[in-house]
Amino acid sequence: MRLAGSLAQASQHVISHSLVEAARSKAIAIKAPAKVTEMAGEGLSGSVDRRLIILGHPDFVARQVGVNDLNFNERFLGSTQVAVGIDGTHAATLVFIDALRPDAESALAAFRRQGVKRIVLVTGDRAEIAEAVAQKLALDECFSGVSPEGKLEIVGQSAAAGKS
């Protein structure tokens, strides 16, 4: 957790923020990473204590450490799984359980009262996570597994079609 948390500081992704927060809450001393490279929608790599750390989507980490596959653990369906590679080896898979913000339903209800007719979820999360959230919040449409660039494209298409 120390090495992954140290690297995660360099990312603005919400999962990275959660990882850093978890490390700090356990009083784990994290260090500043070096030589960080972030691949949007996939993960990041960098060095901590002269060790190569890779953090991100299991497919991304699998490619980086030279294994065929780091399958999602079926026990944790509905969660977000983040793989960690250390010095070219898969070292761990971290599991994050998604929770809706307590004010999510009331915020969406406020949008609807203000005349917003269509509320859409566009996320990089896996389909089963996104669809569960969309159903719970009664959203009009759901796009899952979307890259950051793909999110911009969907928003642009929606605006062009007059649906924004």
DSSP state of 138: T
Instruction: For 79-107, give one letter per residue: b (16+ CB within 10 A) or e.
Output: bbbbbbbbeeebbebbeeeeeeeeeeeee
Which residue from 38, 62, 18 is spatially nearest to 148, judged by alpha carbons?
A: 38
Say what the pLDDT of residue 122 is.
93
Q: Can you list the domains of the chain with their CATH numbers?
A: 2-97 (3.40.1110.10), 104-160 (3.40.50.1000)
Percentage above 90 pLDDT, the chain = 51
Please tell me which residue, 72 or 92, carries the higher pLDDT value.
92
CA distance 134 to 3: 34
Average pLDDT (147-158) is 88
Per the CB < 8 A criterion, the answer to whether 112 and 119 are in contact is yes
Query: Token pair of 160, please?
Result: 């062009």
3-state class of 146 per DSSP?
coil
Sheet holding 89-97, edge to edge: 34-39, 43-48, 51-56, 79-86, 89-97
Q: Cα separations (Å) of 119 from 109, 124, 147, 158? A: 10, 17, 19, 11
Q: What is the rounded average pLDDT of the residues 8-27? A: 91
- Contact by Cβ (8 Å): 105, 137: yes
pLDDT above 70 (res 74): no
The average pLDDT across 123-134 equals 84
Tokens 């750390």 locate to 53
CA–CA separation, 86 and 138 (whole Å): 41
Contacts of 50 (CB under 8 A, 6+ apart): none
